[in-house]
């Protein structure tokens, strides 16, 4: 049974979330106070965290940042207000895996939770339907191991969230191929919905920052194909062409 922490101070939303998540077979622990939630999340392991941003005594963004440092792989689904575009961007930059904008449907929330849990429990490469996929990928001085989920660049370890690793592995597996944002959402997140493609932009930007080589000049690993999407390339080969 998956254990989900719901951090939400709105009693009606928390009650609705708890009811629907429990009906899906999940164990639920609810926190209405931000500081109480923060202290508990630092010592207790959960399979997923539903995290509101506006909380009493401790901001959800601060909790997200601290939780991500403690637990790099735990899925974090942020709950944001309709006009909280800046908060959504910051939440993704701090390591949240996804977000839901209030008001949201329970059907949509349940789908997101299931997709996040399914991805977090995968130990095989993202494209598990391909039995010939190698577990270790090496391009230039970048190395990925899908078994240990370890990434190194120029011999140094790169810390990635679970979602960042899945996205990077998928792009490296299919290097040279261009993917639209909606295709990446569907392949890596497990769904595709209009209005959530900004999630891809933020994760791509974070990956680019983390994959900067010691020689800053030259092509990047992840390139933008304007009007289409993104692709992963070998920067050494790109520099020669």
pLDDT computed for residue 123 by the predictor:
38
The structural domains of the chain, with segments of one domain joined by +, span 3-120, 136-240
**What is the residue-wise DSSP string for 179-234?**
B-HHHHIIIIIS---TT-THHHHHHHHHHHHHT--SS-SS--SEEEETTTEEEE--
Give the pTM.
0.69
CB 184 within 8 A of CB 167: yes
pLDDT at 118: 83
CATH of the domain spanning 136-240, picked from 1.10.10.10, 2.60.40.420, 1.10.1240.10, 3.40.50.620: 1.10.10.10
Which are the contacts of 192, defined by CB distance < 8 A and separation ≥ 6?
A: 182, 183, 185, 186
Which pLDDT score is estimated for 233? 92
What CATH number matches the domain at 3-120, 3.40.50.920, 3.40.50.2300, 3.40.50.300, 1.10.3720.10?
Answer: 3.40.50.2300
Write down the pLDDT at residue 56: 94
3-state SS assignment for residue 29: strand
Question: pLDDT truncated to tens, each residue of the chain (241 aa)?
Answer: 899 999 999 999 999 999 999 999 999 999 999 999 999 999 999 999 999 999 999 999 999 999 988 888 899 999 988 677 778 778 888 888 888 889 899 998 998 899 888 877 763 334 433 434 457 899 888 999 988 888 999 899 998 887 888 899 999 999 999 999 888 888 887 766 555 677 788 889 889 999 988 765 667 899 999 989 999 998 877 555 4
Which pLDDT score is estimated for 128?
A: 37
Name the token pair of 13: 């939303």
By the 8 A CB rule, do 34 and 60 touch?
A: yes
Cα 112 to chain centroid distance, Å, stands at 12
């Amino acid at each position: 049974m998956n254990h989900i922490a719901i951090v939400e101070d709105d009693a009606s939303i928390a009650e609705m979330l708890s009811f629907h998540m429990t009906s899906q077979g999940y164990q639920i622990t609810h926190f209405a106070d931000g500081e109480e939630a923060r202290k508990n999340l630092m010592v207790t392991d959960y399979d997923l965290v539903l995290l509101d941003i506006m909380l009493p005594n401790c901001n959800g963004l601060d909790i997200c940042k601290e939780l991500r440092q403690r637990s790099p792989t735990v899925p974090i689904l942020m709950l944001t207000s309709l006009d909280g575009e800046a908060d959504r961007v910051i939440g993704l930059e701090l390591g949240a895996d996804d977000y839901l904008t209030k008001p949201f449907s329970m059907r949509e929330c349940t789908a997101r939770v299931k997709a996040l849990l399914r991805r977090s429990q995968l130990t095989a490469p993202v494209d598990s339907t391909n039995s010939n996929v190698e577990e270790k990928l090496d391009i230039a001085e970048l190395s990925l191991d899908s078994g240990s989920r370890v990434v190194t660049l120029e011999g140094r370890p790169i810390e990635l969230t679970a979602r960042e690793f899945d996205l990077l592995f998928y792009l490296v597996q299919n290097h040279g191929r261009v993917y639209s944002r909606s295709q990446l959402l569907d392949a890596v997140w497990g769904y595709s919905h209009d209005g959530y493609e900004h999630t891809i932009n933020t994760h791509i930007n974070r990956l680019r920052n983390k994959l900067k080589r010691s020689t800053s000049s030259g092509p990047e690993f992840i390139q933008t194909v304007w009007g289409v999407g993104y692709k992963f390339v070998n920067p050494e080969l790109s520099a020669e062409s």
